[in-house]
Amino acid sequence: MKFGKYLICGAVALSLTACSDEPKGESTKRPVGSGTEEPDKPSGNPDDDVVSPTPAFALNNEKVTVDPAVTFQRIEGFGASDCWLPNWIGQYWSQNRPQIATWLFSQSISADGEVSGIGLSMWRVNLGAGTAEDPNGGGIDNDNANNRAESYMSASGVYDWTHCAGQRYFMEQAKKYGVQDFVLFSNSPLIQFTRNGQGRSDSGAYSNLKEDSYGAFAQYMAEVAKHFSESGYNISHISPLNEPQYNWDGTSQEGSGWQNTEIARLTKELDQALSQRGLATMISLAEAASWKEIYQGDKARSNTIDVLFNPQSDSYVGDLKHVARHVGAHSYWTHDNWNEMRDVRQKAADAAKAAGLDLWQTEWSMLGDAPSELGDYDKVSEFDIAQYMSRIIHNDLTVAGCTSWSYWTAMSVERWSQKNRFELIKTTPAGGEYSNDFTAEGRIVATPNLWVLGNYSLFVRPGYTRIAASHNESKNFFASAYIAPDRSNMVIVVTNYDKEKGVSIDMQAPEGTKAVYTYTTSATKQLKQARFNIADKVFVDPASVTTIVYNL
């Protein structure tokens, strides 16, 4: 595709400079990138006539300049995790679990523009410690019994691949819908390998893994990766530990603290175990509790980049065959306000760049006190929470330069007026929100978090490259742009915080443009599609997150 120079004038100006001469990919009936389609959900046809809407709101005056010749990171995917309820829901529910899978994984857009799901391209699978199989609960208290997890190995060391039936259900659905990458992650070593025989720790700042079990635990993780790889799953990565900066001495979930020296030791064992099996699976390090932990702090447990990826460090593992050239961290505790989140992420990006590493944001939900720029949780709407998440995603992608972004729990229960702070899909057990019994069919609701994440995940596909999108960026108006590898689609994600005013774009489309679509998420819309004729204005609603797709 050859991009000619053009200018879009009006309330928002958008320009593309000349790019490269590349053959245009085969035309598609979908306005977004290719993916698995359900047979009963036909794709939208960009040749259909769609009437452009006329806005009933006042308009802001903004300018955005997009230049595909200026490129940044290549996107590897968007995901979420299967902690903790999916193993229960996938095993015991029947009526609602297919809808959950559709919402999470489907890429289908029907002929009339209806979006079925958010098309996650990564699925993070918990390698449980086996606390669910322990008669005493593995140290996890009864109030948090649903946070107990199975494993694939009995206490006697025998593998049983019939375990984790609910998790396997969602893995199967993810593969069916075209999820490309599966990431296995561990919160705690198996209880038979831990010092206290539990999935939570009494070892303080040190690992709960027994001294003589590093090799055994590594062999276990590699064997699970081998089993699922041979079953047709692309096990792209294993993350062998989680948030090593915490001691995990509570009784609410599985976990273990780690020293960096212990991380390096386990990583070397896992690298060897993967090589023995001839696997291409990579090791993702080191699931830091926040961005700050990867570039500052005590080198015993933090400062991950310098300790694990500096060749001068005694704990250097950056030269191992299976160690991925990225560092994973969580966006917790660094989202109080726009300036803080940008400052922290810039420091993380600078440290990663100096070490030649990419960044992955591997886990976020709205933990902690309400961000100062959001306000009292009791006084904000569920969409307010979801739109604030767009600030996190935007800055993780554009400032930190993340190549992958994942939400924490794909599904959870709203309790204590938490609204949608901790889940994409709200699940309620048959006995009500304070019941812990998920063995009977319950109820489900897709939260605004799901659809706002979908503004990115459904349209910014693996292999897309972030390109320059210059504008008067602020916490109330921000945009990022991406282009497909074959130049067949260009995607712009715009977040507009103004509750009274929308944004108007007068378009003069680039050469070869077949159609322009918007997909809007707001308090009243869930990735609602609108089709615009080439010469028409494109409108972005007030208080919305909107994806603009140029089908070229």
**Pair 32, 461: CB distance under 8 Å:** yes
Q: Is the pLDDT of residue 1 over 90?
A: no
231 in the same domain as 82: yes
Contacts within 8 Å (CB) and 24+ apart, 13-18 = 13/63, 13/64, 13/65, 14/64, 14/65, 14/66, 14/492, 14/505, 14/507, 15/65, 15/66, 15/67, 16/66, 16/67, 16/68, 16/510, 17/67, 17/68, 17/69, 18/69
Q: Are residues 70 and 37 in the same domain?
A: yes
Tell me phi and psi for residue 91, to 5 degrees: -90, -40
Amino acid 58: pLDDT = 85
Higher pLDDT, 546 or 552: 546
The pLDDT score that the predictor gives to residue 37 is 38
Distances (CA, A) of 507 to 4, 318, 518, 529: 14, 47, 13, 18
Q: Are 225 and 274 contained in the same domain?
A: yes
Report the mean per-residue pLDDT for the chain. Answer: 90
Q: How many domains does the chain have?
A: 2
As a whole number, mean pLDDT of residues 343-371 equals: 98
Judge if 66 and 81 occupy the same domain: no
DSSP 513: -
Domain-located, residue 355? yes
Share of the chain above pLDDT 90, in %: 83
Residue 402 forms part of a structural domain: yes
Residues 492, 503, single domain; the answer is yes
Q: Are residues 11 and 96 in the same domain?
A: no
Token code pair at residue 210: 């027994």
Classify residue 427 as left (phi > 0), alpha (psi -120 to 50) or beta.
beta
pLDDT per residue as tens digits for the range 151-203: 999 989 999 999 999 999 999 999 999 999 999 999 999 999 999 999 999 99
pLDDT of 510 above 80 = no
Residue 278 counted as domain residue: yes
Residue 219 token pair = 């062999």
Is residue 129 scored above 70 in pLDDT?
Answer: yes
- Spatial neighbors of 429 by CB under 8 A, at least 6 apart, are 413, 435, 436, 437, 438, 440, 442
264 and 171 in a single domain? The answer is: yes
Partner residues linked to 503 by β-bridges = 60, 540
Q: Is residue 462 part of a domain?
A: no
Predicted confidence (pLDDT) at residue 135 exceeds the cutoff of 60: yes
Distance CA 191, CA 65 (A): 54
pLDDT tens readout for residues 35-45: 333 333 333 44
Which CATH number covers residue 490?
2.60.40
pLDDT band at 316 (very low <50, low <70, confident <90, very high): very high
In a domain, 314, yes or no: yes
The more confidently predicted of residues 472 and 445 is 445
463 located within any domain: no
| 213 Cβ contact list (under 8 Å, min separation 6) | 189, 193
pLDDT digits (tens, 9 = 90+) for 416-431: 999 999 999 999 999 9
Q: What is the mean pLDDT of residues 246-272?
A: 98
Quick: pLDDT tens for 280-300. 999 999 999 999 999 999 999
Round to whole Å and give the CA distance between 246 and 256. 7
Q: Which residue has the tokens 């008067």?
A: 472
Q: What is the pLDDT of residues 56-69, one digit of tens each?
A: 788 887 878 888 99
Region of 71 (left: φ > 0; alpha: ψ -120 to 50; beta: rest) is: beta
What is the percent of the chain with per-residue pLDDT over 70, rounded to a whole number? Answer: 89
Same domain membership, residue 409 and residue 327? yes
Confidence of residue 53 (pLDDT cuts 50, 70, 90): low
Q: Of 432, 457, 482, which residue is a domain's last?
A: 457
Q: What is the pTM of this model?
A: 0.92
Q: Which domain holds residue 94?
A: 77-457
- Residue 479 predicted with pLDDT over 90: yes
* Listed residue (86, 192, 185) closest to 134, CA to CA: 192
The amino acid that residue 502 corresponds to is G
pLDDT of residue 88: 97
H helix runs in 246-312, sequence order: 260-276, 304-309
- Asked if residue 55 and residue 184 are part of one domain, the reply reads no
331-344 pLDDT, tens digit per residue, is 999 999 999 999 99
Give the C-alpha separation, 478 to 498, whole Å: 11
The pLDDT value given to residue 17: 36
Tell me, yes or no, whether 399 lies in a domain: yes
247 and 152, same structural domain? yes
pLDDT of residue 29: 33
For residue 1, tell me if it sits in a domain.
no
Return the CATH number at 100: 3.20.20.80
Instruction: Say yes or no: 327 and 391 in one domain.
Output: yes
Whether 441 and 493 map to the same domain: the answer is no
Do residues 286 and 328 make contact, with C-beta atoms less than 8 angstroms apart? yes
- pLDDT at residue 16, rounded to an integer: 38
